[in-house]
Structure 1
């Protein structure tokens, strides 16, 4: 692969973030999630499989996918790839909201697709080279990207159902943020519902209808993703990793890991070394 840089553009430097996708080495699964930022995945080399609103997108080199704010998505990266991710804070589009704090961009191919892909290449390459004035050049490319998005990719005919889903996921974000901070503890649906003032039945239905995932599966995915990162980045014992991330024991961790990743934690670690 021609790209090897691991970069992140901090917010204090520019008004957006750009970095290489964390699943660049392959054998990677990112479970269902959502966030307020607008996100663009630009595949420079290799391929990725996206699941966006229950629809699968098989993306190859030279293609990009735009993920809207609060749009449920997951990613499967079976093989090495070079994918640049651009995250744009939702507030950047404040003047162009279609509804209150809501804007949506089309996933359908547009005439400017190839031009936008070239533009993202320029943004990344310019930043990596860091020649005199690179910040201004990168920012100029960024504004060109924003202009094209709001003039040619923005959806103006938004259904009430889409707005409602967006609002419900905004409420769920507060809950999932709590889960991510406390996933190592025992997190029953009943206790979480009480904390946030919902009935367990209503909260369960919110996850299933709007996040498209069972509550328990969501918590399990958070634990697995955190555990797999420790598995890759440390030489800690697998039994300790299991306990560190909310699993009852190493057997429970191994069963959940194999179900999601298709291999045991020990085999996964060997493949990474």
Structure 2
């Protein structure tokens, strides 16, 4: 999807097309948009922005689109502003034809710490943020048309509940922390190409799952009341995330903690601590889970023996493989 973005930097306007590699003049820095995953109604993007001089960058509207946007702030504490001067009254989806909702006007300041996610209804609003010189800002995002978001709600909630949910999610910016479950799904979307021709079905399901996790987190957890674990260093986060993607793509490789720690330039205790902090599971457990998932795919998609599927998935002990497979799937490999 080739989407136009109008960005203002120091009074100069740039028309940026987000076709997977959006960019601005190198005079002002760089804006890279990669890993674009698109389904019929949901778009997933990975953003990396770095300016050459500290400046405010303003996005003029949203190209005429009314969208629900979910933004994951990965690596820097930020303040940004949402200008809602063009808000208007509109009818609610409630069956009460006289019901209307009034959306906030004026400018809303949004403070986001590294490791937080927010939900914003961007009804062609203008937004702005101060970018510090030489610092890379990394975000991931989901965008979907507001009518599609409402359609999702209508499948699972009553009209009365929908009205309350719209008041919660569509009238102002809401946020919560990025949980280990959200990090897991983000990483799974990033590596969804491993499912080949089934990538579209897989990634669409994961995008909806991610939306549900974010809405649940906002509904049941207030950011200021959440007990936070110490955040790992940004460089450690990047290395661990790279490791996680490698495991997802090649689960059969050897991932003993000592070798992995040496490869990443950290101690075994630090490796295990950061991995568990980010993903709420141990490195060993995660590797075993991905090996079993890979073995199950091999058995589904290929005419191979159980021993071949086990070996290709990184198992050498058939008894251990069968027991682990049964524990995860409730059936033995031969009956799967």
TM-score w.r.t. structure 1 length? 0.46
The structure with the largest strand share of the pair is 2
TM-score w.r.t. structure 2 length? 0.39
The structure with the largest helix share of the pair is 1
